[in-house]
Amino acid sequence: MMLVALSVAVWLGAWALNVRLSHSGLVKSRMGRLVVPAIFGLTVLLVWEGMVRGLQVPGVILPPPSAIGARLASEVPTLWADFRQTFVKGALSGYVIGCGAAFVTAVAIDRSPFLQRGLLPVGNFVAALPIVGIAPILVMWFGFDWQSKAAVVVVMVFFPVLVNTVAGLKATEAMQRDLMATYSATYWQTLLKLRLPAALPFVFNGLKIATTLALIGAIVAEFFGSPIVGMGFRITAEVGRLGLDMVWAEIAVAALAGSAFYGLVALIERRVTFWHPSQRT
Amino acid sequence: MKSILPIGVVLAVIVALWYAAAVWLNAPWIEDQAQRAGEPAPTFSQLLPLTMNQDRPVLPSPHQVVSELVTSTFGMAVTSKKSLVYHGWITISATLLGFAMGTGLGILLAIGIIHNRAMDLSVMPWAIASQTIPILAIAPMIIVVMNSMGVQGLVPKAIISAFLSFFPVLVGMVKGLRSPDQMQLDQLATYNASDAQTLWKLRLPASMPYLFASLKVGIAASLVGAIVGELPTGAVAGLGARLLSGSYYGQTVQIWAALFAAALVAAGLVATVGAVERRTLRRMGMAR
């Protein structure tokens, strides 16, 4: 009971602190904008720990964060192997292939209004479908190893990137294209010097959506069959053995990998499209 | 109207490519069978019909999938375990329950966030960051943990759906509730409107376009959540279970039929939200 009371006290204290902080001048600074969510995150972890220990929730239902942290620290080699199998081999290679193919396709169909009118509605439609469902088929075709996961990722990231890139290639104004025409620029010069740079914000939007999809695709595809390594495999296997602290550790790795991947793409976007109004601060 | 012909051509090309791929992928099995039986390799014209109607093809031809889809939708009693209506309904009910829970929670939290600065500063960064996390990975755990607490069936799947639809709705609604500009807010302040009145008469109506945009994302995500939520229980019922049992037993036609059923359900759900959106926005004078 002590721990429960303590965690309630921690919660109330942190809440009051955050309310005070958010009304003070500190939040105007960059520091303050980081401190408040950080306090909130820490509070969630502390209350979680206190409640689980205080109410003696069994570890097979909800392990405390400390146990998850301990698991995370002691199982680094396994987690690293899973990470390499799922993220580096499955998600990353599929992401590169899928985004590359979508980009090339977008540039190709951009030349034909007929194809655009035909493919775009289909692409938009497919982008809303539960494409993860294709995973069992691709696992059958490409086997249990990472190739099938990469294939699922390719299919999943293809349409969002395609639709966004085509939209981006339309983003130039007639005035700008006319200017290129007065320079007597060829199609390729216009494409490289005007239309692709103008399309980049849209392309990056698609690429950012695709980062999350890539990781989801790679993990879910492993639910349908995988070698005995990989994040999706580990999650299902450890859930079966009720080793929930390992499952949470794996989820923490997935969350970290997902955010880092997204952050990396966002960082590249900042560097490449520094001229765009949304990137100027 | 202008785009019907191009879409038709694209779809026709896709079907044609599919048939070609079916012949190409299914032919090795036929040739293998012929070789084992000691017969000469079949000519192409003999091969063609054989690749179209195998029991367990590598890639079923489109008409096989369609006929499986039709027989398992209309040809079975609705209560039968082979009926796609039965499985589809299980998935749809979990999707809708989860969607309702996720949307409700998302809207409530968004209202809290715009009225409370501390909540905004502490929760919003996490809500945005959570979009980059593969939340679907927690699906098996939720199913098993709820199972061990004695909750089975619809609710665990709905919780996964709710998780997935919650964040898009939250982020969209915060944007939408903030969309009235300062002039409009000042106007209500001169009327001496309370926070609740501002919410009902200005912020909520103004947020509708944002709400529907995120509802469309949310319902598609809900369906994915419900389907994935059916996987770890080991192929009991639902479209996800059809996918899984099909992959266990090599029933490719069944997988494709379930996949198409899922696609139809997704299209139907998104179209329904879209229709409600159009009606609502037209009634509110916001139609574009």
**What is the phi/psi pair of residue B68, to 5°?**
-65, -40
Instruction: Calculate the CA dihedral of residues A145, A146, A151, A154 and round it to 10 degrees.
Output: 170
Q: Does B224 reach chain A within 8 Å, measured CB to CB?
A: yes
* pLDDT for position B233: 65
What span, in angstroms and rounded, lies between the C-alpha atoms of B66 and B262? 13
pLDDT digits (tens, 9 = 90+) for A236-276: 888 888 888 888 898 889 888 988 999 899 899 888 888 87
B1 part of contact set with chain A, CB < 8 Å: no
Q: CB–CB of A159/B220 below 8 Å?
A: no
* Number of other CB atoms surrounding residue B252 within 10 Å: 24
| pLDDT score at A184 | 92
Kindly report the three-state secondary structure assignment for every residue of A23-75: HCHHHHCHHHHHHHHHHHHHHHHHHHHHHHHHCCCCCCCCCCHHHHHHHHHHC
Q: Residue B6 CB: number of other CB atoms within 10 A?
A: 20
- Shortest distance between the Cα of A23 and any Cα of chain B, in A, equals 8
A128 contacts chain B (CB < 8 A): yes
A140 to chain B: closest CA residue: B247
How far does the CA of residue B141 sit from the closest CA of chain A (Å)? 6
Which of B56, B141, B244 is the mutation pick for testing A, counting most A CBs within 10 A? B141
DSSP state letter for A279: G
The beta-carbon neighbor of B122 closest among A37, A223, A261 is A37
In chain A, the percentage of residues whose pLDDT exceeds 70 is 98
Check: CB of residue B225 under 8 Å from CB of residue B266.
Answer: no
* Cβ–Cβ contact A81 with B under 8 A: no
Among B108, B100, B80, B107, which residue's Cα sits nearest to residue B237? B80
Nearest neighbour of B255 by CB, restricted to A27, A137, A225: A137
Minimum-distance CB partner of B2 among A15, A22, A117: A117
Per-residue three-class SS string for chain B = CCCHHHHHHHHHHHHHHHHHHHHHHHHHHHHHHHHHCCCCCCCHHHHHHHHHCCCCCCCCCHHHHHHHHHHHHHCCCCCCCCCHHHHHHHHHHHHHHHHHHHHHHHHHHHHHHHHCHHHHHHHHHHHHHHCCCCHHHHHHHHHHHHHHCCCCCHHHHHHHHHHHHHHHHHHHHHHHHCCCCHHHHHHHHHCCCCHHHHHHHHHHHHHHHHHHHHHHHHHHHHHHHHHHHCCCCCCCCCHHHHHHHHHHHCCHHHHHHHHHHHHHHHHHHHHHHHHHHHHHHHHCCCCC
Residue A101's CB: how many other CB atoms inside 10 A? 15
Q: What percent of chain A has pLDDT over 90?
A: 12
From the DSSP assignment, how many helices (H) and strands (E) are in chain B?
Answer: 12, 0
* Rounded Cα–Cα distance for residues B239 and B258 (Å): 6
Q: Is the dihedral of CA B160, B165, B168, B174 positive or negative?
A: negative
Question: Scanning every residue of chain B, which has its alpha carbon at the shortest distance from the alpha carbon of A238?
Answer: B141
B131 touches chain A (CB under 8 A): yes
Which among B21, B141, B136, B29 has a CA at the least distance from the CA of A214? B136
B155 touches chain A (CB under 8 A): no
pLDDT in tens, A112-134: 888 888 887 888 778 777 888 88
Model confidence at A102, in pLDDT bands (50, 70, 90)? very high
Rg of chain B's alpha carbons, rounded to an integer? 25
A151 touches chain B (CB under 8 A): no
Interface pTM, i.e. ipTM: 0.79
pLDDT surpasses 70 at A78 = yes
Token pair of A22 as six digits = 């958010």
CB contact under 8 A, A19 and B118: yes
**Could you tell me the pTM of the whole model?**
0.84
Grade residue A96 by pLDDT with cuts at 50, 70 and 90.
very high
Partner A, chain B 55-94, Cβ-Cβ below 8 Å: 58
Q: Which of A197, A248, A215 is nearest to A71 (CA)?
A: A248
Interchain CB contact of B163 with A (< 8 Å): no
CA dihedral B116, B122, B127, B133 (to 10 degrees): -170
> Which residues 22-51 in chain A show a CB within 8 A of chain B?
22-23, 27, 33, 36-37, 39-41
> B224: pLDDT confidence band, cut at 50, 70 and 90?
confident
- Partners of A239 on chain B (C-beta within 8 Å) are 140-141, 144, 232
Q: How far is B121 from chain A (nearest CA, A)?
A: 6
DSSP designation for A85: I
pLDDT at residue number B288: 59
Exposure string (b/e) for A107-145, b if CB count within 10 Å is 16 or more?
A: bebbeeeebbbbbbbebeebbbbbbbbbbbbbbbebebb
Q: Do B117 and A23 touch (CB under 8 A)?
A: yes
Q: Which of B1, B121, B128, B260 to mutate to test the interface with A (most CBs of A within 10 A)?
A: B121
Pick the residue from chain A with its C-alpha nearest to B12: A118
Name the 3-class secondary structure at A186.
Answer: coil
How many residue pairs from chains A and B have C-beta atoms closer than 8 A?
168
pLDDT tens digit sequence for B42-53? 777 777 777 777
Lowest mean pLDDT among A65-79, B192-206, B231-245: B231-245
| B164 shares contact with chain A (CB less than 8 Å) | no
Q: Quick check: helix, strand or coil at residue A224?
A: coil
Query: Residues, chain A, total?
Result: 281
Q: Is A124 on the interface with B (CB under 8 A)?
A: no
